[in-house]
């Protein structure tokens, strides 16, 4: 276990394990008796080596522990959590479950993993605390509050805004939100977007490469490459701000570009922000690499290793209690015509042969079709013709009509086919 050099230096042969001590009393105190002899006389001496815990490489910042703090620390926000130094504070009408979803997403984004650059990550998390980064959370929208959100009606409002690094709100979608917001995809995008706005504000204060206002920063150079290439167009979104406050405009468009770059680099854009054109037209990491190489380089160099993709599978598993659960319906007409690219007949939907369909969770679809070509579903391409089984969960069928209720339990990928004739159908993707 121990070695003693000619100079009397005692060393452990292998580093001791503080959590699992191997000394006689298992208390990390190693007692040693040394005997010295010249062949005639000898002397003994006892001494101890105490092993202490080295915490120099321990995680300094902690994930949110799952418990909401409910007090007046951040008035007028009556509930808050802390994820790795980032405070998330909710107004009184925000539900606890919504705060929990945000906290769990923040935990995933800011976690440490095998690819972590400890130096850069620690710099970011340290500045969360130094600049008092705070993500505000409200219900529905700013304009929905009566009385208005201000210091007079909500004491402490100005104190929070003046003494913390804040950007914008995450709004919990409710029955009072616009109809196009009342779905999980829109809600998830709202959470991710505004968390990233707050996080990248601290990037701007931490890394020179992320300066919003420096025309030669890597962020601004990447943004301008995207603008000049026609992939990012913020011009129609901020009124006359470019003329009335050029500095604010410069910061806002850099902040928004950063969000699009990260969302796309994580390959979440096509899932949660499908209709972004003309503001942002890049759909996936491959397109970003080929069309905006500076953004690809910035993402790999400064996002990877510091932030973590929360993951589509996890995000899609979340539920939001305040989003109305009204079931939507849609009717689709299915016709049949000779195959343009082969033999036999095929299904035609919206004038497209064997069209790939996208069905949304929360919607019931009715397919009207020929009774001579029964329209069916399967998890296998070409269904029972290629060894698959007919998919029946949430499906009702009668002569010439087949209906499917799409829920969160519906498989992500399905196929439609004719139960009597092979090769007529196409693919189905289930989305939120």
DSSP 374: -
Q: Within 10 A of 97 (CB to CB), how many other CB atoms are there?
A: 13
Closest CA to 330 of 300, 293, 367, 298: 367
CA–CA separation, 336 vs 431, rounded Å?
A: 26
Local confidence pLDDT in tens for the 432 residues of the chain: 778 777 777 788 888 888 888 888 888 888 888 787 877 888 888 878 888 876 555 567 899 999 999 999 999 999 999 999 999 999 999 999 999 999 999 999 999 999 999 999 999 999 999 999 999 999 999 999 999 999 999 999 999 999 999 999 999 999 999 988 999 999 999 999 999 999 999 999 999 999 999 999 999 999 999 999 999 999 989 999 999 999 999 999 999 999 999 999 999 999 999 889 899 999 999 999 999 999 999 999 999 999 999 999 999 999 999 998 766 899 999 999 999 999 999 999 999 999 999 999 889 999 999 999 999 999 999 999 999 999 999 999 999 999 999 988 899 999 999 999 999 999 999 998
Residue 57 pLDDT: 53
| Tokens (6 digits) for 234 | 């913020």
Strands 401-405 and 363-368, sheet pairing: antiparallel
- Report the sign of the C-alpha dihedral through residues 322, 273, 232, 212, in that order: positive
Residue 60 pLDDT: 73
CA distances from 314 to 105, 139, 310 (A): 9, 23, 7
Residue 10 pLDDT: 78
Residue written as token pair 């003693």:
4
Residue 54 pLDDT: 65
Respond yes or no on whether the N-terminal peptide bond of residue 76 is cis (omega within 30° of 0).
yes
Structure-derived torsion over alpha carbons of residues 191, 192, 198, 199, reported in degrees to the nearest 10: 140
* Residue 222 backbone dihedrals phi, psi, to 5 degrees: -65, -40
Find how far residue 149's CA is from the centre of its chain: 28
Length of the chain in terms of residues written: 432
Residue 370 pLDDT: 97
CA–CA separation, 206 vs 133, rounded Å?
A: 12
CATH number at 328-431: 2.60.40.420
Task: Tell me the domain boundaries of the chain.
Answer: 2-50, 79-317, 328-431
Residue written as token pair 């650059």:
117
Residue written as token pair 């468009």:
253
CA–CA separation, 22 vs 330, rounded Å?
A: 69
| Paired strand residues for 401 | 368, 398
Furthest CA-CA distance within the chain: 111
Q: Are 109 and 308 in contact (CB under 8 A)?
A: yes
| Tokens (6 digits) for 176 | 């009072």
CA–CA separation, 102 vs 192, rounded Å?
A: 9
| Tokens (6 digits) for 429 | 């993707």
Helix (H) or strand (E) holding 131: none
CA–CA separation, 279 vs 272, rounded Å?
A: 15
Residue 17 pLDDT: 83
CA–CA separation, 383 vs 424, rounded Å?
A: 10
Half-sphere exposure of 47 (CA within 13 A, CB side): 8
Residue 50 pLDDT: 87
Q: Are 141 and 181 in contact (CB under 8 A)?
A: no
Q: Are 191 and 273 in contact (CB under 8 A)?
A: no
Helix (H) or strand (E) holding 48: strand 42-50
Letter string b/e over residues 133-150, b meaning 16 or more CB atoms within 10 A of that residue's CB: bbbbbbbbbeeebeeebe
Q: Are 153 and 147 in contact (CB under 8 A)?
A: yes
Residue 399 pLDDT: 96
Q: pTM for the complete prediction?
A: 0.69
| Paired strand residues for 352 | 349
DSSP 76: T
Strands 345-349 and 335-338, sheet pairing: antiparallel
Residue written as token pair 């998390």:
125
Letter string b/e over residues 268-302, b meaning 16 or more CB atoms within 10 A of that residue's CB: bbebbbeebeebbbbbebeebbebbebbbebbeeb
| Tokens (6 digits) for 341 | 């690219």
Residue 314 pLDDT: 97
């Amino acid at each position: 276990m121990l070695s003693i050099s000619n100079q009397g230096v005692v060393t452990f042969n292998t580093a001791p394990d503080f959590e699992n001590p191997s000394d006689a009393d298992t208390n990390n105190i190693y007692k040693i008796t040394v005997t010295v002899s010249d062949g005639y006389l000898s002397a003994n001496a006892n001494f101890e080596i105490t092993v202490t815990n080295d915490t120099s490489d321990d995680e300094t910042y902690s994930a949110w522990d799952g418990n909401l703090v409910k007090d007046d620390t951040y008035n007028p926000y009556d509930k808050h959590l802390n994820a790795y130094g980032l405070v998330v504070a909710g107004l009184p009408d925000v539900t606890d479950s919504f705060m929990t979803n945000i906290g769990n997403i923040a935990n995933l984004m800011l976690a440490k993993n095998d690819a972590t650059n400890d130096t850069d990550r620690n710099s970011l998390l340290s500045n969360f605390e130094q600049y008092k980064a705070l993500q505000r959370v409200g219900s529905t929208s700013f304009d929905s509050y009566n009385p208005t959100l201000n210091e007079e009606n909500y004491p402490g409002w100005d104190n929070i805004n003046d003494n913390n690094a804040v950007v914008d709100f995450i709004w919990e979608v409710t029955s009072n939100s616009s109809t196009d917001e009342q779905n999980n995809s829109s809600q998830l995008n709202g959470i991710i977007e505004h968390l990233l706005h707050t996080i990248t504000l601290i990037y701007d204060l931490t890394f020179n490469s992320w300066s919003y206002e420096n025309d030669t920063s890597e962020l601004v150079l990447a943004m301008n490459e995207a603008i000049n290439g026609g992939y990012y167009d913020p011009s129609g979104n901020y009124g006359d701000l470019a003329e009335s406050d050029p500095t604010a405009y410069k910061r806002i468009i850099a902040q928004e570009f950063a969000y699009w770059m990260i969302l796309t680099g994580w390959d979440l854009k096509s899932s949660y922000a499908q209709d972004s054109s003309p503001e942002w037209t890049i759909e996936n990491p491959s397109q970003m690499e080929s069309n905006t190489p500076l953004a690809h380089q910035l993402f790999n160099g400064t996002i990877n290793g510091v932030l973590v993709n929360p993951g589509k599978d996890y995000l899609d598993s979340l539920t939001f209690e305040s989003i109305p659960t009204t079931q939507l319906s849609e009717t689709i007409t299915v016709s049949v015509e000779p195959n343009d690219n082969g033999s036999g007949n095929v299904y035609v939907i919206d004038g497209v042969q064997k069209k790939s369909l996208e069905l949304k969770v929360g919607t019931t679809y009715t397919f009207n079709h020929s009774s001579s070509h029964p329209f069916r579903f399967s998890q296998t391409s070409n269904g029972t013709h290629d060894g698959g089984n007919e998919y029946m969960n949430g499906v009702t069928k009668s002569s010439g009509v087949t209906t499917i209720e799409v829920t969160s339990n519906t498989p992500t990928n399905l196929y439609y086919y004719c139960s009597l004739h092979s090769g007529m159908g196409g693919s189905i993707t289930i989305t939120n």
